Chains A and B, each alone.
Chain A
Amino acid sequence: MINFENISKVYPPQSIALKDVSFEVDNGEFVSIVGKSGAGKTTLIKLLLREEDPTEGRIFFNDLEVSQLRCTELPYYRQKIGAIFQDYRLLNHKTVYENVAYAMEVMGATDYEIRRDVPKVLDIVGLTDKFCNFPREISGGEKQRTAIARALAIRPEVIVADEPTGNLDPYHSKEIIDLLVKINQMGTMVILSTHDKEVINSLKRRVITLENGELVRDEQKGRFIL
């Protein structure tokens, strides 16, 4: 379970990114966070990944208070979260297979587990025939599927996707969202940040709406309303 408690984030000197935001996400839930550009969606995800610390409030990941984690604990915390970004964030000098395997290697998976699991996740995202290509050799949709495969490979407790369809055409966007739904159906919590109206309305899942850094709506079967 993830719990945001009265989170505020102010960038100096006085730019308020988030203002007193509180909500909980249960295990196995699929939550979409929507809002216009600058509403605070990306800041929320950065705080969850502990790329930044909140100005006020606390974030709990199960029993862990995220901002209290020591530097040495941070990699192990991040290994519990599969992160997907609009700009894919793949390692350009590694092949598709190596990008996925890397996430497993750094968390200490054995060679046997890597050889067993990487082809499986590449099969799930439909990239079996691209495993030896470098990111520069594949399309945007394939890059994002590689990022999803990398996130899946570490068997995370939660998948956090920040605008994963932002750079994709509608066809590839649907592919990615379908994959996230499939992952959620396998029992993994998914937090999706987007401003894609079609995506949100087709999902019919919980929607948290942010406006100017404030949580203005939290609906169980929400729609995209701004």
Chain B
Amino acid sequence: MFTFIRRITRFGWHSFLREGGLNIATIFVITVTISLFTFLFASQGIVSYLIGQIEQKIDISVYLKPDVTQEDVLEAKERLNNLPEVKNVTFLSKDEVLEEFRQRHVNDPVVLESLEVVGSNPFYGSLNISATNPNEYAAILTVLNSDSFANVIQKVDYLEKKSVIDKLSEFIGTVNRVGFGLAVALGIVAVLVAFNTVRVAIYDSSKEISIMRLVGAPNKFIRGPFIIQGVINGTIAAIISCLLFLLIVQLLGPRVESITNGFDLGQWWTDNLGSTIMIQIVSGIGVGVISSLIAIRRYLKV
């Protein structure tokens, strides 16, 4: 067995070295395929980041009754925090809301003057609630509308935001579905192109395969070197796309960061190094070997 593996490895390696042109074409096509998979994987990271950013901006503002005590507010905050659907609750007192308003309109004397006209603090204290998942807002709303919060809550500012939130949730879902569909379609096209390139390469060797059969080579001896060649081509393609992606990270990282408002491509690459390299090697060797196995089948029929 060891001798067999050693021999087919040597045959495969020699074929790789001596059949330059076709191997270059095969490596190029597999590199494109792997790079596409890597790009789709990275896009998934960017999309997840953007979705996270948008989700962070969604919250429910609960305006508190003017006469509510600090203890009641803290108790309500605690109860909300204990809900599994709730990710975070922030309390802003009346004074903090007023101060924030003043800061926001510091260059707008008319607005500040109008506050003076009113005479007292017109704002409500508020609790800003963000959910673990945008779909959970309806459940949180149900809890807020229950009697247990009636003595604390003046008004829930959600229905105004609801339509925006619904549209956003729908958009996120659509982006995910379309992205996935696109990834699958592009993946299939890339694999088919790679498969056809390998098929042409093996067709070129069909005469040699018939000679091997005539000198009495068993099928495993004919198939083996092509598999080894597939592994070599796939590995080289994986290394090239890895380097290519590294180059893209270096060149486009700052641009991606500014476009996406903070997505650090380099950091993402470091965090996902293992899975990215795994995707590249597995898809490279997988495309190389499986294409070879399928393409060679017809030439092994006696």
Contacts and interface: CB of A to CB of B under 8 A. Distances in A.
Interface of A: 49-51, 71-72, 74-79, 81, 83, 89-94, 98, 102-103, 105-107, 110-111, 150, 154
A78 B218 CA distance: 10
Contact of B216 (A93, A94, A106): A106
Contacts of B15: 93
Interface string B188-230: 0000000000000000000010011111111101000000000
Contact of B19 (A74, A89, A93, A154): A93
28 contacts: A72-B218, A74-B302, A75-B213, A75-B216, A75-B217, A75-B218, A76-B216, A78-B215, A78-B216, A79-B215, A83-B215, A89-B214, A90-B211, A91-B208, A91-B211, A93-B15, A93-B18, A93-B208, A102-B215, A102-B217, A103-B215, A103-B216, A105-B221, A106-B218, A106-B221, A110-B3, A111-B3, A154-B216
Contacts of A89: 211, 214
B7 interface: yes
Contact of A78 (B3, B18, B208, B214): B214
Nearest to B215: A103
Interface string B272-302: 0000000000000000000000000000001
A51 to B, nearest CB: 8
Given A50-B302, A81-B216, A89-B214, 5 more contacts: A51-B214, A75-B213, A93-B15, A93-B19, A93-B208
A107 B7 contact: no
B177 interface: no
A89 to B, nearest CB: 5
Contacts of B161: none
Nearest to A151: B215
A118 to B, nearest CB: 14
6 tightest A-B contacts by CB? A79-B216, A78-B216, A106-B217, A93-B18, A75-B218, A75-B216
Contacts of A94: 14
Contacts of A102: 212, 215, 217
Contacts of A71: 302
A199 B302 CA distance: 34
A134 B19 CA distance: 13
A76 B219 CA distance: 11
B16 to A, nearest CB: 10
Nearest to A79: B216
Interface in B3-19: 3, 7, 14-15, 18-19
Contacts of B219: 75
Contact of A91 (B212, B216, B218): B212
A10 to B, nearest CB: 20
A107 B3 CA distance: 12
Nearest to B222: A106
A105 B212 CA distance: 11
Given A74-B302, A105-B7, A92 B208 contact: yes
Contacts of B215: 78-79, 83, 102-103, 106, 150, 154
A49 B208 contact: no
A74 B15 CA distance: 25
A75 B15 CA distance: 22
A184 B84 CA distance: 91
A47 to B, nearest CB: 14
A92 B212 CA distance: 12
